[in-house]
Amino acid sequence: MTYLPDRITKVEGRSQDPHEGDLDVPTWPVEPGRYRLVAARACPWANRSIIVRTLLGLEDVISMGLTGPTHDERSWTFDLDPGGVDPVLGYERLQQAYFARDPDYPRGITVPAMVDVPTKAVVTNDFPWITHDLFFEWRDHHRPDAPGLWPDACREEMEEVMQRIFTEVNNGVYRCGFAGSQEAYDAAYDRLWTALDWLEERLTDRRYLMGDAITEADVRLFTTLARFDPVYHGHFKCNRNKLSEMPVLWAYARDLFQTPGFGETVDFEQIKRHYYVVHEDINPSGIVPKGPDLADWHTPHGRERV
């Protein structure tokens, strides 16, 4: 997948992240009220941006539009809104924002997307940079007690952890689900569980991935864990065991779920409807399973003792 690489930055052409500096991509100015984050609660990549926007207290600075949980080959649609139209952009389909940017836009219509409200055109859909820049570029507008999601003290290690999570876990479940052969599936399955066992061990003696505070790494892992039992375990055949059968990861996931900014962004019914309806090649019947029982996400986790 190729993404629109534009960035929204405080200073034109330059990142406020001390690890970056000058940028070689088009930049747009930080301007409260100018942009609309279009996301879907069903999508793990979009769920990241919803969580980070909430954690940083940017709800009154960057508006948000939510699509429905399903889409066709053309686009995500705003069927959750009255009349099926986004009230700010006036669009029925996210595709319209992409075509406002490029009438011949040739790539996938993805969420999350940052849309310039005055022109109603997509600015960027490059999801890892969207959450990165919400932290570094919009700092003047964060709530006073916003978490330090990118701590400099452990930045190098955090980048390594996030890279492994991205390749082996975030993408790993998809590698299992869309494997085209038994050999490919077996290899993907082994890679995924090697990574999950590593995470189970890593989190045994630390509350969060980088220590005693929530970081971007936790956000990136959480959105996959939240979907594991309702979707990936069965639908993607990641079925060595359920998340709820891994004591450390399950407690860690519940800890995050019960943290303000995380659980309220998760809609399990939308998640299940998205995967089981959209992936017709995997689930041609379109039947959405009633289970599993997800009430235990609210049970005590005991992670404050770690």
C-alpha–C-alpha distance, residues 230 and 235, integer Å: 8
Catalytic residue among 43, 98, 208, 232: 43
Active site residue 43: yes
Judge whether 174 counts as a catalytic residue. yes
Is 76 annotated in a binding site? The answer is yes
The span from the CA of 215 to the CA of 230, in Å, is 25
Q: Judge contact between 219 and 209, C-beta under 8 A.
A: no
Active-site residue among 3, 105, 154, 174?
A: 174
Residues acting as catalytic residues: 43, 174
Binding residues: 76
Binding residues for glutathione: 76
